[in-house]
Amino acid sequence: MTEAKQPARGRTAVVDPDLVEAARVLRGALVRVHPSFRFEERLATRLGTAALAVARDGGRDAGHARDPIPFPGPDGFEQLGEMPYASSAGAPEPRHWRTPIPATNLPVRLPRGALIGGAIASGVSLAGAALLARRWRSRPSRSPFARATRAAHRAAADRGRAVRGGLA
């Protein structure tokens, strides 16, 4: 085959018959191998998803479609829309690391700062309330009404002690 250019220089092409025979055998033995229909259709579905991503992103990178797990925004997962392969019809089989994770299985991310701040505020509130309650109880009121109440209470107690002592 490769010696076919030699006759252009006026020489007789001498092709080794063994090589011709080997080429004949290889031509018959090395057939084209097809993938399975299942793989073909699964990849077609995947390429369709990737093509949509390319059309949407202007061809920047179809590789994003390979890992279709967008980062959740602050408003939750509603804005993510339907995950690829979420529908049961024509859904491909899960396939190791490329399997998209359904949105329902994604962990809910709560704002860490709000959690920490909330815990501190609650602690301060509880501790402050307890401290104020103890101080309110230990410090006598200076209002006239309070003073009169305490005086009446003391007088009643003194009368009681006198009765119990036989003085009345």
94 binds other proteins (CB under 8 A): no
Angle formed at CA 76 by CA 119 and CA 62, multiple of 5 degrees: 135
Query: Cα–Cα distance between 16 and 28 in angstroms, integer?
Result: 19
Which of 6, 7, 13, 40 binds other proteins (CB under 8 A)? It is 40
Tell me the Cα Rg of the chain.
Answer: 45
Alpha-carbon separation of residue 160 from 2, 149, 150, 157 (angstroms) = 131, 17, 15, 5
101 binds other proteins (CB under 8 A): no
CB of 14 to other proteins, least distance (A): 13
18 binds other proteins (CB under 8 A): yes
Alpha-carbon separation of residue 100 from 11, 65, 88, 89 (angstroms) = 64, 10, 14, 16
Which of 28, 74, 144, 165 binds other proteins (CB under 8 A)? It is 28
- Containing 138, the helix (H) or strand (E) segment is helix 112-138
User: Mask 48-87, x = binds other proteins (CB under 8 A)?
Assistant: x-xxx-xx---x-xxx-xx---------------------
Which chain residues interact with other proteins by CB under 8 A?
A: 1-2, 16, 18-19, 21-23, 25-36, 39-40, 43-44, 46-48, 50-52, 54-55, 59, 61-63, 65-66
